[in-house]
Structure formats: structure tokens, C-alpha cells
A and B are shown apart, each in its own frame.
Chain A
Amino acid sequence: KAGVTQTPRYLIKTRGQQVTLSCSPISGHRSVSWYQQTPGQGLQFLFEYFSETQRNKGNFPGRFSGRQFSNSRSEMNVSTLELGDSALYLCASSPDGNRETQYFGPGTRLLVL
């Protein structure tokens, strides 16, 4: 079975721009979660989608949004980029939303200049 895939793998943007990241979960997985990882703050939970509905949300500003499609693929959007948004963005999928069965993708590394 193919693993979680994320595109693009690397991205450079400038302040004020917006960006959309994509995540394709493992086949059959209905839950997709997004995380931000930075050296200073570590790994932080952004949000979780299950069957196209946002089920849980972390403490991030409204500039961070996401959605999930009927095929379980998910996108994450960040508007009005700030320098502090430079990070590794990870998505993880699981069949049912349980953390015990969650697998991470390789991540998208975003650099904001």
C-alpha cells in the first residue's frame, strides 16, 4: 500500500502571499490531520478532518485553514504568510482518527522570505 503523500515537498514564498499544501492519505484512510513543526515550538497540531468534516482544531490563527474532499485528500491553506510560518508541515492519515493507527507523510518544507 502506498504511504501518505504530500505535495509539494519544498516551497518558497514571500511574506503576504498565500500557499496551498496537499495531502493524499493512505488508501482507505478517512482521517487526515495536519501539523506544523518548527525548531522553536516543536510539533503542533493544526486540525483534523474526518469524512470531509473538521473534527478538531489546534490553537492557530484563522489564516490557517483546511478542507477535505470526498476522496479523503486534504488541502491546507495559509493566507497572508508571515516569516514565522516557515516550517515543516506534516500531514498524517489514519483509518478512523485514532492516533494509534496514524501514519505521517514526508512533509512539505515551507520557507517564507
Chain B
Amino acid sequence: QKEVEQNSGPLSVPEGAIASLNCTYSDRGSQSFFWYRQYSGKSPELIMFIYSNGDKEDGRFTAQLNKASQYVSLLIRDSQPSDSATYLCASFGNQFYFGTGTSLTVIP
């Protein structure tokens, strides 16, 4: 079992819809959680991080954390074709673990 699990997708949503990306983690000692966006052939870029239970919003992005369920999610509102990318979830406790990523395609 990997430390961080993500549905690999692909996930397709129409332009303007909400994209929901999910992630579970196994290390209860994990303290911080990250979402990265990676365009094909490019490096990951950090788009959200969250430490506390609940929601954290930044523009069209909302990260949600539920430590009891060991669950992290990312919501992208008003999805745009430019959001089409692979989204990586990561946890950090004693070590930095990444999921294998969810491929998102936003259809114009």
C-alpha cells in the first residue's frame, strides 16, 4: 500500500464545472498536505497546502482536510481548459510522500 493514494483517473469535466480530486494517506503522523499541478513535460508547481481540518480556499481552488478519515481533497471551481493537468497530492510528516497523480481534462 502506498503512503498516499489517488484515483489515477482520467477525470474529465466540462468547462465551468467543479472538478473534485481526492486523496487518502496512511501515516497518521502526517502534519501537512499539499496539492501540486503538473502539466505534461513540466515540473510540479504548488497550488495549495493545508494543515488544519476543514476547508482552505484560494481563488477557484479549495483544499479540504479530514484527519480522522485521513482524507484530503481539492475542488476546482469554474474549471478552465488551462486546468487540464495531472494533480499530485502529497503528505509530510517524517517524510514527504506523493500520490501517483490524477489526470484532469477540462473539455471546452
Contacts and interface: CB of A to CB of B under 8 A. Distances in A.
A105 interface: yes
A44 B98 contact: yes
Given A42-B101, A99-B96, A106 B46 contact: no
Given A56-B95, A58-B95, A99-B96, A43 B88 contact: yes
Interface in B86-108: 88, 90, 92, 95-101
Interface string A76-113: 00000000000000100000000110101111000000
Given A99-B32, A104-B43, A104-B45, A42 B95 contact: no
B97 A45 contact: yes
Contacts, number: 42
What is the size category of the interface that chain A forms with chain B? 10 to 19
Interface residues of B, number: 18
Nearest to A6: B43
Contact of A106 (B43, B49, B96, B99): B43
A100 B96 CA distance: 12
Contacts of B100: 41-42
B22 to A, nearest CB: 16
B99 A42 contact: yes
Which DSSP category, helix, strand, loop or mixed, fits chain B's interface? Answer: strand
A100 to B, nearest CB: 5
Contacts of A100: 34, 46, 49
A9 B98 CA distance: 23
Contacts of B98: 42-45
B44 interface: yes
Given A43-B88, A43-B98, A102 B46 contact: yes
Contacts of A41: 100
Interface of A: 33, 41-45, 56, 58-59, 90, 99-100, 102, 104-107
Interface of B: 32, 34, 42-46, 49, 88, 90, 92, 95-101
5 contacts: A44-B98, A45-B98, A99-B34, A99-B92, A106-B43
